Structure 1
Amino acid sequence: MPTAEDSTPPGAVAPDQSTAEDNKTTSGTPRSSSGWDGKLRIEKNLTLANPEALSDPEYSDEENVVPGESINADEDLLDDYPPDEEEIDCIHARVSAIPSLRLERFTNVKNLCLRQNMITEIEGLSSLASTLVELDLYDNLIAHIRGLEDLVNLTSLDLSFNKIKHIKKVNHLKQLVNIYFVQNKISTIEGLDGLERLRNLELAANRIREIQNLETLKGLEELWLGKNKITEMKGLSTLSNLKILSIQSNRIRNISGLEALENLEELYISHNALTSLTGLECSKKLRVLDISNNQVPSLEGIERLEELEELWASYNQISEFQDVEKALKDKKNLNTVYFEGNPLQLRNPTLYRNKVRLTLPQVQQIDATFVRVS
């Protein structure tokens, strides 16, 4: 969760942003304890190794795949690793073909990280099938999912920041717990049937218009859909174990479809087109609610959220402290509120903080600043 010292949390998603660095500098949107959509736990000044993955709309078409630069190996990149090494990291090493790494000489690899290379094909991994559990191919040039047939022990697969248009050939990986497809060109949620162990699905920054085909993912606990083109929250009713839903920076006008999500604890729905909080009445376990950057004029609808700990409501149309008091004063666990950019703050910025303190004496943090205890 953000702190007073870190009021611009890394990884926040805002409209009209398409790079990792842009996403790192947005203010006013929180992240969960495990990070933002897309596992963007990366350096603030990071530059993508393959920026064309974001700019060329046809790059993932079969006939247009541009091969990575072939580099004759004048050194063994993995020469320092012993044959029984369990974790191999080969990051930003200009690797264009996995077979060139000669991974078959390693007999016990569990975690393989090939981030920020120039890999176009997933290949040469069959020799690791009996031991490999985590495969990270973030920021490469992969256009099609294939080559995973033998990797049946995988629990984590990261294909974020590639050129993938279609989710295919992963639903045989029955042990998967985490799967990341952030910042690709995916328009349809598909090909995930039967992944009953899946707990975390990250599909942020794609081209998705509809939430669908999630019925069999009954164990899912985290669903990250920020920065897509979704207009309504539907197709969620079977996800009874869902704890975190991030659907910020979409095109949602009203809150609906959450009635069956009785275990939902965190909802991130900032940067949409909300004008009301009606629809949250059944979400009684919510601890974190982010409605920043909408058009909400009132907090009516959250009176029953007795477990609420953090409310992010910056840049809405909330104008009355009486409304805030009615909705939040009885929330004993409430420790953080954000109301900057609302009429109740803009009308009298000098008195604003004191009024919030008097209205909500239990709160420990107002916007980016901790409340001083006298």
Structure 2
Amino acid sequence: MASSEEPTANGDGSPRKSPRNSKGWDGKLRLEKKALITNPEALSDPEYSDEDAPPVEQIAADEGVSPRWHQPFTGRNKNGTTDSGWYADLLEEEPEDTDARALCQRGRQYRIIMASIPALKLERFKQLQKICLRQNQISSIELPGSLGPKLKELDLYDNLISHINGLDDLTELTSLDLSFNKIKHIKRVNHLKKLKHLYFVQNKISTIEGLDGLSDLEELELGANRIRTIENLETLTSLEKLWLAKNKISTLGNLTPLTSLKILSIQANRLTAITGLETLTSLEQLHISHNALTSLSGLSTLVNLRTLDISNNPLTHLTGLSACVHLEELWAGYCQFSDFGEVEHELGDKEELETVYFEGNPLQTRQPALYRNKVRLALPRIRQIDASECPFPFLVRCSGVGDEERAMLTVI
């Protein structure tokens, strides 16, 4: 049977040329490859999803199987061997009044990779106060409303959650951890008036929003996101700990109402100056390493500061610490400090200072063998230099010196 394809060679084996007209056209219509993209963000974000899109039909985890057996799993049992298949309801035998500790002990027997919360049938446990479902493949928050009156802590760290839903009935929550998920917007949490701890580490959040009314919140963790501006925190009047490390923040702003703040962590951002901290007189810890600071001005009101982390900044001088009279720890590694005289002048009066880190500075790299001794001479009260503890200093009397002219030497 003759082939319908066009022959590719002549009888002598030489390649056959397509016939062309006088202008060289072979009669084939060629169109430029082009497509119209209506959602270009989907190209840069492989996990893109539209919150307002119509819902996709889903099959329940236990649909089509017996009541005792649920979704597929790969798990490791208490003997250390790996099992695969459909997992049994490990909680079926537990009484309804089982406390959180007993459930946790039962869960340690298997490492189950969960993809559905309803499959656990948690509505059976009327007294549940804590739920921890870390490191699973849960993509939506689906908890029975009956847990609302009792549930205090919900931990869904390291899952596949993109949108915050399903918290309407959990009004007694005091702690919510949604870290290491795929959340882009903070929504539907401001009705949780009793929240004290809220964690959104390592998500895709670009704007601080949706926190109005959380006046009891004491700790907010937003590290490792895409935030550029500190904003919308003015109602968080009880906030004591604010974690904003590893974002894209270039200015310290809008912190004035947070007068209860004790810990501010803003490492690994784009700061070039310390500003906007004037009202934060309760601040005890300031972590501002891995930025682009060139001056320590802006700390003049931080009279209660005890820990200051300024490491990995292009700082050359320690001036600006005079108000920090209660300083206990100074982490200043990998800056550009080079003057031991300045170390003594700026830190010598800090009677509570016990720990300093100067590793990686010219102070240490120029004469590493003498570095520790020089720090001890400049700061005789110090107990730890970098990662090494120092022996307690003690005093000896020089021979030939009378009691009235006693010379005291620090022995290192």
**Which of the five TM-score ranges fits, normalised by the shorter chain?**
0.7 to 0.9
Say whether residues 1:274 and 2:293 are aligned partners: yes
Deviates most, 357-366 or 71-80: 71-80
Give the corresponding residue for 2:95.
82
Measured on the aligned residues, the alpha-carbon RMSD in Å equals 2.1
Give the corresponding residue for 2:228.
209
Equivalent pairs counted in the alignment come to 320
Q: 1:264 aligns with which of 275, 283, 296?
A: 283
Give the letter for the 1:86 counterpart: D
Q: 1:58 aligns with which of 47, 58, 64?
A: 47
CA shift at 1:261, angstroms?
0.3
Q: Matches of 1:219 and 1:148 in 2, distance apart?
A: 22
Q: Matches of 2:135 and 2:390 in 1, distance apart?
A: 42
Map 1:1-374 onto structure 2 (within 5 A). 58-62=47-51, 71-72=71-72, 73-79=86-92, 81-87=94-100, 88-89=103-104, 92-373=111-392
CA shift at 1:204, angstroms?
0.2
Q: Can you give the 5+ residue segments of structure 1 that lack an aligned partner in the other structure?
A: 1-54
Say whether the 8 Å CA contact 1:69–1:118 is kept in structure 2.
no
Structure 1 or 2, whichever has the larger Rg, is 2
Give the letter for the 1:372 counterpart: P
Give the TM-score normalised by the residue count of structure 1: 0.82
SS at match of 1:352: helix
Q: Matches of 2:203 and 2:130 in 1, distance apart?
A: 23
Q: Matches of 1:235 and 1:330 in 2, distance apart?
A: 33
Say whether the 8 Å CA contact 1:60–1:164 is kept in structure 2.
no
CA shift at 1:69, angstroms?
11
Give the TM-score normalised by the residue count of structure 2: 0.74
SS at match of 1:157: strand
Give the letter for the 1:58 counterpart: E
Q: Can you give the 5+ residue segments of structure 2 that lack an aligned partner in the other structure?
A: 1-43, 62-70, 73-85, 393-410
CA shift at 1:125, angstroms?
3.0
Give the letter for the 2:329 counterpart: E
Give the corresponding residue for 2:40.
none
CA distance 1:330–1:65, shift in 2 (3 Å): farther
Q: Matches of 2:182 and 2:232 in 1, distance apart?
A: 22
Say whether the 8 Å CA contact 1:138–1:160 is kept in structure 2.
yes
Say whether the 8 Å CA contact 1:61–1:143 is kept in structure 2.
no
Say whether the 8 Å CA contact 1:244–1:265 is kept in structure 2.
yes
Q: Matches of 1:68 and 1:281 in 2, distance apart?
A: 60
CA distance 1:300–1:130, shift in 2 (3 Å): same
Higher relative contact order (CA 8 A, sep 6+): 1
Q: Percent identity?
A: 59
Q: Matches of 1:242 and 1:250 in 2, distance apart?
A: 20
CA distance 1:291–1:320, shift in 2 (3 Å): same
Say whether the 8 Å CA contact 1:60–1:165 is kept in structure 2.
no
SS at match of 2:369: helix
SS at match of 1:267: strand
CA distance 1:163–1:297, shift in 2 (3 Å): same
